[in-house]
Structures are given as structure tokens and as C-alpha cells.
């Protein structure tokens, strides 16, 4: 299917950031994956859900937001429109998955949480209207952060710019300003425990795939995701990864290089398989099958933990304390919602690890040893004042749902 795009907007982005370098593409191509036997009905009986978000949020969409939407529109014909290679993630959720072609994957750099600042993606979302009712990518964000009136469907901000909660803004009343109903669904970010009960786990990759990919692996295997983002930085040096590979090999492991080529660095050594650059890695079910065969995965400042977490494979993550425990950083909450298996978090400031690779690696080693011993407690690594950081964690663990 080929879709001519409408002319781009003058507005730069949703979040005010200028993304002037984006080239407006003439047309977008989709591959349509048919998931059910239902014939496609008229537009009034069809809903289209766009999922052009960052993977850290996309995973919330898969496990929570889309299942919630499906519950709301049980009889509608469902079309999900999203990134290349993600069909497996949506197979169980829709009648059709429209996969954008691979040459559009650079637009991932314009995704920011559930929002995106891409003119091209916005044009695509607008052009979907002729096929049915469209829920753009940002709508899934509303489900995550907005309070919803279950009677009239109104979404309300959950926290205002002045720090007030919705209740405070509403004169202390717990009712909908539009219809006065008090039947409300709290947002995920305010009710982690309540939402976690409603999670819809991702199906496991097929046995056939799990067996097929074994030819690429030597046990015990460890998957490495080496963040390599153009737009947002926080990429560790290739030398760090060379030393990480050496350390893992000295510990008896066989690393495999994972991820999507647009967002991970190329593998810095020849003797480790760079799955991220192989054609077969474009099929996410195969990547998940590889992960299923790994003892654990390792990643630094990236949400690729979701792949392991959603299928219950242990992982190690280095992340900034603010992202995990801070009021604005939501990664802690998102992890707690999506992780279904053991995990090990080491809180570190990026620049401290960037400057002190050796100490960073010794923390990785500690993570591996403790993970193997069944100790899943968080580690406070290179963060400055450790005592203050333990307190920071203690003050926020319950709010972000670390105890579930």
C-alpha cells in the first residue's frame, strides 16, 4: 500500500523543540499483515491505533493502553499502525498490523515518549482518517498520564504545571467537571499497583523460532544492547564495550550483539555475532527468541530492557537515579509495569561511567555475580553521595511500584 502524504505543518513539534532537519517525505509505504479472518468493514466500524512512540513507552501501549482501548471498543475492527519489524508485538491485539517500511525507521529519532515531533508521522496519522476513527500515538500517552472519566470519557490532566493535582484544581472535588460522575480511572503513573493487575503479557516467541535461532548462539549466552542514539546522546565509548566483551568472556559467557541498527552502535569486535546488523534481526520474534536463549541481557541508559522484561528473561540495567526515582523521570514506573522477570538495576550517572569505564565495569561484574546468586536488590553505583541516594530510593520506591 502506498500513501501520498499531505503537506507538512508549519508547527515544528508538539514539544516545542525544533526539528528542522526532518526532510518531508513524499509518500509512506506500509506492509499490511492480516491477523484475523474478519473482512475489513466500513470506516465507521474501524479503529486505527498509531504506535509511533519510543520503545520505552510503546511497551506500555502493548501491555496496557491498547488492551484498555480494545476493551472499550470490543466489536470494532482494529488496525494498528506502527514501526517496521514490530508485527509480532501486536499480532495478538489487532485484525491488521500496518508496518511502515524500513526506510522510515530513522523517524524513531523524532519519537519522544508517546509524543513525536515528526511532520511525516503526523501526516501519516492524519491521512489514516479515511479508514476509520484514528487514535494517534499521543492518545496512548493520555491513557498513561490522564485521569479518565468512565462515564463521559473526558481526559483530565493528572498533575498541573503549578504542581497541583487534578483534585486540587477541581476545588477538592472528586467528580468530573463535565458530567459530575465520580467514576474515574486513575492514570498508570499514579496507580502502578492497580494497573499492573490489568497487564496483558506478550505471547512467548514460538518454540520453532526459539530452536531455530540456537544456531547463532553458544551457551551460556549474554545479550548486549549498546545504545547508539544520534539525537539524545548518552552513548558509552566503543572501548567500554570491547572491555565489557572481554570481561564477559573471562567469566565464561558468550556475548551476542543485539538491538535495532538505527539505535545501537555497531559491534566493536569481529568475533562476536552482530545480530543487530543481520537481516533476520528485523523480525522481532526472532530477536525475542534469541533473548529467550540468553542467561541475561545487559544495557546502559536504554529501554531495551523491555524485551527481556516482557518475556521474563533476567536483565541488568545502568540508569540515572532521576530517571528511576525522580518525580519527572518515569522510567522507574514504566519498568515496574513491564517487567515480568528478575532484574538488576545499578543507578549511575552517565558521565561518571563515561569518565571512569573501569569502575563502571566493576559494577557490571558485581551485578552479574549478585544476579547469579539470586540477589535482585538495586545497586547504588557512581552517583556522588551514596547515602543521600539510598534515601532518595527509599522515599520513592513505593510510589513507583518497585515493591510489586
Residue ranges that bind Zn ion, judged by CB under 5 A: 149, 151-152, 154, 176, 178-179, 181
Residue 184 CB, nearest approach to Zn ion (Å)? 8
Nearest to 123 by CA among 221, 23, 241, 208: 23
Query: Residue-wise over 195-232: b if at least 16 C-beta within 10 A, else e?
Result: bbeebeebeebeeebbeebeebbeeebbbbbbbbbeee
Residue with grid cell 463535565, as numbered in its chain: 178
Residue with grid cell 479472518, as numbered in its chain: 37
Q: Which helix (H) or strand (E) holds 80?
A: strand 77-82
283 within 8 A of 403, measured Cβ to Cβ? no
Q: Specify the DSSP class assigned to residue 313.
A: -
Residue 138 CB, nearest approach to Zn ion (Å)? 21
Residue 11 CB, nearest approach to Zn ion (Å)? 30
d(CA 392, CA 398): 11
Name which of 176 and 245 has its Cβ closer to Zn ion. 176
Residue 105 CB, nearest approach to Zn ion (Å)? 39
81 within 8 A of 98, measured Cβ to Cβ? yes
Residue 72 CB, nearest approach to Zn ion (Å)? 15
Name which of 151 and 356 has its Cβ closer to Zn ion. 151
Residue 292, SS3 per DSSP: helix
Name which of 156 and 363 has its Cβ closer to Zn ion. 156
Name which of 68 and 217 has its Cβ closer to Zn ion. 68
Name which of 147 and 382 has its Cβ closer to Zn ion. 147
Name which of 111 and 143 has its Cβ closer to Zn ion. 143
Contacts of 88 (CB under 8 A, 6+ apart): 205, 283, 284, 285, 288
Residue 352 CB, nearest approach to Zn ion (Å)? 48
Amino acid at each position: 500500500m502506498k500513501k501520498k502524504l499531505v503537506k507538512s505543518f508549519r508547527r515544528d513539534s508538539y514539544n516545542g523543540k525544533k526539528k528542522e532537519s526532518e526532510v518531508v517525505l513524499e509518500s509512506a509505504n506500509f506492509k499490511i499483515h492480516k491477523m484475523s479472518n474478519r473482512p475489513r468493514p466500513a470506516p465507521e466500524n474501524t479503529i486505527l491505533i498509531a504506535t509511533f512512540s519510543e520503545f520505552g513507552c510503546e511497551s506500555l501501549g502493548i501491555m496496557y493502553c491498547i488492551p484498555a482501548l480494545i476493551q472499550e471498543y470490543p466489536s470494532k475492527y482494529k488496525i494498528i499502525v506502527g514501526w517496521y519489524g514490530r508485527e509480532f508485538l501486536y499480532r495478538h491485539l489487532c485484525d491488521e498490523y500496518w508496518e511502515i517500511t524500513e526506510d522510515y525507521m530513522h523517524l524513531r529519532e523524532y519519537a519522544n515518549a508517546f509524543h513525536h515531533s515528526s511532520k511525516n508521522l503526523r501526516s501519516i496519522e492524519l491521512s489514516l482518517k479515511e479508514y476509520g476513527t484514528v487514535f494517534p500515538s499521543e492518545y496512548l500517552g493520555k491513557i498513561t498520564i490522564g485521569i479518565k472519566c468512565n462515564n463521559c470519557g473526558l481526559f483530565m490532566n493528572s498533575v498541573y504545571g503549578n504542581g497541583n493535582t487534578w483534585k486540587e484544581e477541581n476545588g477538592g472535588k472528586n467528580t468530573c467537571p463535565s458530567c459530575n460522575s465520580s467514576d474515574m480511572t486513575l492514570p498508570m503513573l499514579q496507580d502502578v499497583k492497580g494497573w499492573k493487575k490489568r497487564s496483558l503479557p506478550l505471547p512467548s516467541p514460538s518454540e520453532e523460532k526459539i530452536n531455530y535461532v540456537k544456531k547463532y548462539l553458544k551457551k551460556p549466552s549474554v545479550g548486549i544492547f549498546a545504545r547508539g542514539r544520534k539525537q539524545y546522546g548518552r552513548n558509552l565509548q566503543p572501548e567500554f564495550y570491547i572491555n565489557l566483551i572481554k570481561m564477559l568472556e573471562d567469566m565464561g559467557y558468550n556475548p551476542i550483539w543485539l538491538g535495532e541498527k538505527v539505535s545501537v552502535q555497531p559491534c566493536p569486535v569481529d568475533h562476536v555475532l552482530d545480530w543487530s546488523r543481520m537481516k533476520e534481526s528485523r523480525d522481532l520474534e526472532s530477536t525475542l527468541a534469541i533473548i529467550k536463549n540468553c542467561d541475561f541481557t545487559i544495557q546502559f541508559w536504554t529501554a531495551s530492557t523491555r524485551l527481556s522484561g516482557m518475556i521474563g528473561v533476567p536483565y541488568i540495567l545502568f540508569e540515572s537515579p532521576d530517571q528511576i526515582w525522580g518525580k519527572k523521570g518515569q522510567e522507574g514506573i514504566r519498568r515496574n509495569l513491564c517487567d515480568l522477570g528478575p532484574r538488576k538495576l545499578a543507578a549511575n550517572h552517565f558521565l561518571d561511567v563515561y569518565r571512569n569505564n573501569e569502575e563502571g565495569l566493576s559494577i557490571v561484574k558485581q551485578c552479574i555475580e549478585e544476579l547469579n546468586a539470586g540477589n535482585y536488590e538495586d545497586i547504588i553505583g557512581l552517583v556522588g553521595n551514596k547515602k543521600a541516594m539510598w534515601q532518595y530510593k527509599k522515599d520513592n520506591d513505593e510510589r513507583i511500584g518497585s515493591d510489586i
